[in-house]
Chains A and B, each alone.
Chain A
């Protein structure tokens, strides 16, 4: 019973399409239509990419040329929909593939239509036929080397500091020169009264500094600055922008979302359908990590949490939930729903979470204050394209604001209290 469960969990995508030799080409069936390729790309990114690449072997085989090497296109369709069935039927090619990839099973996509599978293949073929470009992983791994031009910021600080120092030195030297000159002129007897008055002017630095006007200005400026600092400080209470706590497992978004380009929604399953985006449960990690990087101490922590014994490749049943440190903390009085923004609004995760694919350790990128929310609601157009919910609203809006006018979130009550507070 337990083993069945496990095999259900260890599912891998399009795993066994790699084959030793196959000379018949089915590729003429595969569409070259841009729309089909685009549809395939979306499906591929959303569902396949966590295990497959076009030209690179990952958890599953590289998919380039799969249409040529697999026994038939129909075989591929059957395999995608339910690989376990193919293996169970004793299909030679399938069994060989299964064994080659450590007997890890690919997730069954039972609901995929023929068209959908063909569109994925169209995308794979289109990608495979493209000339080789540097792999995205190497680019990221390469770091900032060629990315930025100009002087790095840390040098800028040093240069500024140096220049400031030189200025101060110049001031001191100038002051010394004036004092020396003054002394010299005073010792000279042939100076007239008028000249003497000029030399011993009462407006010395000292007297200016001691004047009530100057003191007032200084006190005022200091008071104003400190007042502003205090107010700013008070405003920042509860704001945790940049909050970057250490997490119990050193999970890297830079690696997973960046280098491997795994779709955010593959792990954050709730983002499209609910309030919470969901912190992935370890069973999602196990989709890949039951095979990959088993020896890493960080992966061992996942095994400890889910109760997985690598040696026997079985679950012990001893579970211990992982206590992640929550980074984004909205107050309880504010209601936020991911699906409204990600699914309905079509907003990229990065809009609020920042360049997550570059973060080794995740930090809070945005302010998450009410002002920040409101600002976006003022600027953003409603994503009404193809959404019948907004049809009537758009009609009414354009009737009074001109045919091509865009509807902002603000225009349909996006600034109202009870949209977020109840």
Chain B
């Protein structure tokens, strides 16, 4: 049926045809044995029923008195029921995103990207979207604490100031430890603190460090900077272990740029080619055109080899380090050379030597000034690994008098955290400003909690001369205090509020009278926009001048071309990331884009190694534990067999194993920061000589991908190579035909239904499989916007996750890969191609769910929406059974107001958490079906806005939550009845039809019918042959490969 003839598979269980998988494949829910509860008989049940009916009807007789409490003095711009939007900035350590916060009735409820920002360009990530819930984290500190006891600010200010003066008087060392600080005003405040206490030093470190890049650039160009990268100008992209779409340096910005190069159409039949060399299958690797699994111990040599290949073309000498043939490396080198000046080589390595060679490659290719801009450095990673290590050692030796941890948690997230934690007991003064009592705060003597970022004033400089502001979107919920004010008070300065400080700084630094604005107008504009670009000064960067030979010799001594030992790769995951937001259930329940696992910490291994160690994964996620020993430290984690994992490597994510974190993340996984080692003066996130042993314990992982299948239908993913697409834009399309007695006809031309005319709007969506990177920010955005319940691991294992929008991840093996035997399986799983497909309610015009609902709870609207009415639903689940896309989710429990879900779903079970709920969307109760509504609340709001202004709806006025969050712009939503809308143009919708008049003449009229002629050759409907005619179209996946048959 499918033209590509590839084998698509969702997981190894499907590939293997696991009998257990086959048995459950067509079922939405598995029949899990439910233990009979002997304590309750049928009679008890009836008694309870009788009583509760009586009680309920009695209770219903008297309506409770409800109060309505208006403002006492209503602020001019705050109207109950009308949301306000404030530009602000999300900052978590060095991670940055310019945002717009939606505030309803004084509560921030949603975060969206700020399109005015030149850095993040309106994009967001899953972590940014989820961060609104961390504002309402029940684990937050309610006020300052001394040890375990709550106290007030005056007391601790007095004690801290006295102690600081004592330490400074004795000449004792004072340290302020933080992650990367992006804020110039904060740095100014710290500088003032230093003036008062001259023995103070400010130490910045990063959980996932880029110190190697800083040092390499210092060596290469004499400036310790990280340059800006511009992927949008790159025709050939080579990445060696840099997960630039997921976690590396500035992933939101890079995703936006990368997506520009991946957009293809009939008019633009070209795209970038992306080579990835990596150990784990990362998000970036999953999007690459050519991916080669390598071991971390080969990384340096691969880079040197690439240099040598290019140097040969450039007529330069070889470097003395070598590795045998690496698949696709020569091809990559050739194409880099062909696209000199519009290519880009990046490496995720934190080894200075490797980065120096990478710089040399980019220098040879002439990429500086085009795809890499040294004159516009970024500040996202300023951490100094050596200074931080020196600090920990000093602390251990008792040389530190006092330390203030400014919003960082080194006791957890530094390799020597445990030693630091122990050393803190002997330090005269230790203060933490973290807003939760985390590992470091608990080990410190004083907790002086800072506001959450949504409660704070601040300014940031993510890139040189590119500034942004953050403003409070809610007044502080607890008795916390802005950390900068604390610093100022402890330094004996005025207790002026930090807002005035920031404002005064901006007046001094940026305000220019020449612009003709008074300062207030300048400030108001900057605050309204959230961003401000200062005129840049000429930065002089010297030419490349690093000792390449030294770097090469360092590489040849530290890396090995081949090795028999097992190696560990430590990486930052896409959900909980570096662990600072571990207590956020939205992130814990976000399926990992690749493994699709939730709520768990695991070690990823290759299929070959699994066989070696006797590990099996089955369709229900059952697996075994592995114990890894690096030097003398061991960890035990469940194993997950990951297709694409380089043989002999094991991947483990950071961010788990937190001990002081709150109810959500308690007891999940182990902390792997202690396994991070040191190489060339910076932190090294891999380890060789790992001893691996199978532990006897069984474990069940919760994975979402295996939960739905399409019953063997193959037209779900449609793809082609760029070469095929260039010849025929319809390449890869599957156009199902149905055989009639005399003819083959298009499956879409036959229908049992009469169809509809949509006289007003006809809402539709297009999803480009080529630009979707699978990052998952849409999933979190949808959860937050639509009050989707988080259900916890146990329920996910029972296939009861509630996500309205999921991202299906398909592996595919080239045609002809036999997977009948174990060797074939290993081959297929060695390095598969990956396709991501966001799957949500398709809003079918001939919806099969509507026809089977016995109570008409799901119906069709005059605007093409498939409506779901919760208060009418009686929970027969016929609709879900009849849905070909398996996108309807059933509420098995009352997830809100249910103490059983207190741990996993605090957003609905605590008074604090409930403040995040969107008041425009009903919180669904037990026993009803729910699904994507196309954000009908936003459609209605957009329409009403237009009606109030007495005009038609403008395109772009109604934006769904998933579309707004999609950094790569893969999701386009709009009115297909509006010929000027983006979706009409993208899909090339022909909105006319010819009708015959009575007098025989023909007339062309506007076609209001649901069935529109789609002109875009890439656009297809999933499962077209079923004939349900969805309003969601997918655009084919195009891979920039020479041949389809080539292995990935």
Q: Name A residues whose Cβ lies closer than 8 Å to a Cβ of B.
A: 9, 237-238, 240, 243, 245, 269-270, 273-276, 278-284, 305-307, 319-326, 329, 331-333, 335, 337, 339-340, 343-344, 386-393, 396-397, 412-413, 416-419, 421-422
User: Which of chain A's residues have a CB closer than 8 A to the CB of B867?
Assistant: 416-418
Of B472-480, B494-502, B513-521, B855-863, the one contacting chain A is: B855-863
Q: Is the CB of A389 within 8 A of B951?
A: yes
Closest to B953 in A: A389
Main secondary structure of the interface of A (DSSP, over half): loop
Q: Which residues in A have their C-beta under 8 angstroms from that of B952? A: 388-389, 391-392
Asked whether B69 is an interface residue with its Cβ less than 8 Å from the other chain, the reply is yes
Cβ contact of B67, chosen from A280, A325, A389, A413, cutoff 8 A: A325
Residues on B with beta carbons closer than 8 Å to the beta carbon of A391:
952
Q: Which residue in chain B gives the minimum CB-CB distance to A327?
A: B68
The reply to whether A396 and B944 form a contact with Cβ atoms under 8 Å apart is no
Min CB–CB distance B887 → chain A (angstroms)? 17
B69 & A321 in contact (Cβ 8 Å cutoff): yes
CA distance A322 to B920 in the complex (A): 25
A–B Cβ pairs within 8 angstroms, 22 of them: A9-B73, A237-B60, A243-B63, A270-B81, A270-B82, A281-B70, A319-B72, A319-B73, A321-B70, A321-B72, A322-B69, A325-B66, A332-B922, A335-B937, A387-B950, A388-B952, A389-B947, A393-B759, A416-B862, A417-B861, A417-B868, A422-B940
Q: What 1/0 mask marks residues of chain B from 64 to 91 whose CB sits below 8 Å from any chain A CB?
A: 0111111111100001111000000000
CB-CB under 8 A from B923, the residues of chain A are: 332
- Which residues of A sit under 8 angstroms from B940, Cβ to Cβ? 335, 419, 422
Q: Knowing A273-B82, A306-B72, A325-B67, say if A413 contacts B861 (CB, 8 Å).
A: yes
Query: Contact flags (1/0) for B936-965 with A, using CB distance below 8 Å?
Result: 110010011011101111000000000000
Question: B81 to A323, Cβ gap below 8 A?
Answer: no
The 10 A-B pairs of least Cβ separation, nearest first, read A275-B81, A413-B862, A418-B867, A281-B74, A417-B869, A276-B81, A326-B68, A281-B71, A326-B66, A274-B82
B79 and A397 within 8 A (CB)? no
Does B1 have its Cβ within 8 Å of any Cβ on chain A?
Answer: no
Q: Encode B343-373 as 1/0 by CB contact (under 8 A) with A.
A: 0000000000000000000000000000000
A279 touches B67 (CB 8 A): no
Nearest CB in chain A to that of B943: its residue: A389
Q: State the CA gap A69–B944 with chains docked (Å).
A: 46
**Beyond known contacts A238-B60, A416-B861, A421-B870: 12 more, CB 8 A cutoff:** A237-B61, A278-B70, A281-B71, A283-B74, A321-B71, A324-B68, A333-B922, A335-B937, A339-B948, A344-B948, A416-B862, A421-B869
Please, how many angstroms separate the alpha-carbon atoms of A269 and B78 in the complex? 11
Q: Smallest distance from the beta carbon of A182 to chain B beta carbons, Å? A: 53
Query: Within B50-66, which residues are at the interface with A (CB < 8 Å)?
Result: 57, 60-61, 63, 65-66
Q: Which residues of the partner chain B approach A390 to less than 8 Å between Cβ atoms?
A: 947
Q: Which has the most chain A C-beta neighbours within 10 Å: B859, B920, B940, B950?
A: B950
Return the contact of B947 from the options A240, A340, A413, A418 (Cβ within 8 A): A340
Kindly identify, within residues 752 to 784 of chain B, every residue whose CB is under 8 Å from any CB belonging to chain A.
759-760
Interface size class for chain B? 35 or more
Contacts of A337 in B (CB 8 A): 944
A329 touches B66 (CB 8 A): yes
Contact with A along B856-893 (1 / 0, CB 8 A): 01010111010111111000000000000000000000
A72 nearest CB across to chain B (Å): 32
- Inter-chain contact B79/A274, CB cutoff 8 Å: yes
Which residue of A269, A280, A386 is within 8 Å of B950 (Cβ)? A386
Q: A344 — which chain B residues lie within 8 A by C-beta?
A: 944, 947-948
Provide the bound-state CA to CA distance between A335 and B73, in Å.
Answer: 27
Q: Which among A245, A305, A326, A418 has the highest number of chain B CB atoms within 10 Å?
A: A418
Q: Distance (Å) between the CB of A362 and the closest chain B CB?
A: 12
Q: By the criterion CB–CB under 8 Å, are B79 and A282 in contact?
A: no
A386 nearest CB across to chain B (Å)? 6
- Determine if B1008 is an interface residue (Cβ-Cβ < 8 Å): yes
Q: Which residues of B contact A270 (CB under 8 A)?
A: 79-82
User: Is B933 an interface residue, CB under 8 A from the partner?
Assistant: yes
Interfacial chain B residues near A306, Cβ < 8 Å: 72-73
Q: Answer whether residue B314 sits at the interface, using C-beta atoms and an 8 A cutoff.
A: no
B576 → chain A, closest Cβ, in Å?
31
Q: Is the CB of B48 closer than 8 A to any CB of chain A? A: no
- Closest chain B CB from A96 CB (angstroms): 31
Q: Kindly state whether residue B921 has any CB partner on chain A within 8 Å.
A: yes
Contact assessment for B1008 and A396 in the assembled complex, using a CB-CB cutoff below 8 Å? yes
Q: Which residues of B contact A329 (CB under 8 A)?
A: 63, 66
A413 in contact with B863 (CB, 8 Å): yes
Question: Interface 1/0s, chain B 667-702, versus A by CB < 8 A?
Answer: 000000000000000000000000000000000000
A383 and chain B: residue at smallest CB distance: B947
Set of chain A residues within 8 Å of B869, measured between Cβ atoms: 417-418, 421
Contact of B944 among A9, A307, A333, A340 (CB under 8 A): A340
Given contacts A240-B63, A386-B950, A413-B862, contact A333 B871 (CB under 8 A): yes
- A388 to B72, Cβ gap below 8 A? no
Check if B68 sits within 8 Å of A279, measured CB to CB: yes
**In the complex, what distance in Å separates the CA atom of A386 from the CA atom of B867?**
30
Nearest-Cβ distance from residue B72 to partner chain A, whole angstroms: 5
CB-defined contacts of B936 to chain A, threshold 8 Å: 418, 422
Contacts of B82 in A (CB 8 A): 270, 273-275
B944 touches A422 (CB 8 A): no
- CB-nearest residue of chain A relative to B1005? A399
Collect the chain A residues with CB atoms within 8 Å of residue B72's CB: 281-283, 305-307, 319-322
User: Assuming the A-B contacts A238-B60, A417-B867, are A273 and B948 also in contact, with contact meaning beta carbons closer than 8 angstroms in the complex?
Assistant: yes
Instruction: Provide the residues of chain B in CB contact with A322, threshold 8 Å.
Output: 69-70, 72
What are the residues of chain B within 8 A of A413 when measuring CB–CB?
760, 861-863
CB of B88, distance to nearest CB on chain A (Å): 23
Q: What is the distance, in angstroms, from A143's C-beta to the closest C-beta of chain B? A: 31
Give the residue name and chain of the B residue nearest to A412 (CB): B760
State which of A275, A281, A388, A393 has its C-beta within 8 Å of the C-beta of B951. Answer: A388
Minimum distance in angstroms from B857 CB to a CB of chain A: 8
Provided the pairs A319-B73, A333-B871, A418-B869 are in contact, do residues A388 and B950 lie with their beta carbons within 8 angstroms?
A: yes
A417 to B860, CA, bound (A): 9
Contact B68 A325 (CB under 8 A): yes
Asked if residues B947 and A387 are in contact (CB atoms below 8 Å), the reply is yes
Q: A270-B81, A391-B952, A413-B861 are in contact. Are A335 and B63 (CB under 8 A)?
A: no
- List the B residue with the shortest CB-CB distance to A284: B74
Write the nearest CB–CB distance from B688 to chain A, whole angstroms: 55
Q: What A residues does B80 contact at CB under 8 A?
A: 270, 274-276, 278
A residues within 8 A CB of B759? 392-393, 396-397, 412
Closest CB-CB distance, A270 to chain B, in whole Å?
5
CB-defined contacts of B943 to chain A, threshold 8 Å: 389
**In the assembly, what is the distance between CA of A280 and CA of B68, in Å?**
11
**B787 shortest CB reach to chain A, Å:** 11
Give the CA-CA distance A270 to B105 in the complex, in Å. Answer: 13
Q: Once the chains bind, are A422 and B922 in contact (CB under 8 Å)?
A: yes
Q: Which of B63, B81, B861 contacts A274 (CB 8 A)?
A: B81
CB distance from B71 to the nearest CB of A (A): 4
A residues in contact with B947, CB < 8 Å: 340, 344, 387, 389-390
| B71 contact set on A, CB distance < 8 A | 281, 283, 321
Closest to A386 in B: B950
A278 to chain B, nearest CB (A): 6
Highest count of chain B CB atoms <10 Å: which of A9, A319, A421 = A421
Considering the chains assembled together, what is the distance between the CA atoms of A337 and B953 in angstroms?
A: 18
Which residues of B lie under 8 Å from residue A396 when comparing CB positions? 759, 1008
| Cα separation A396 to B1008 with both chains bound (whole Å) | 10
CB pair A343 B74 closer than 8 Å: no
Cβ-defined contact, B67 with A281, below 8 A = no
Find out whether the CB atom of B74 lies under 8 angstroms from the CB atom of A325.
no
Q: Which residues of chain A are near B863, meaning CB under 8 Å?
A: 413
Report Cα–Cα, A389/B936, bound state, in Å. 18
Q: Report how far A397 CA is from B859 CA in the complex, Å.
A: 22
Bound-state CA distance A422–B872 (Å) is: 12
Cα A319 to Cα B944 with chains together (Å): 36
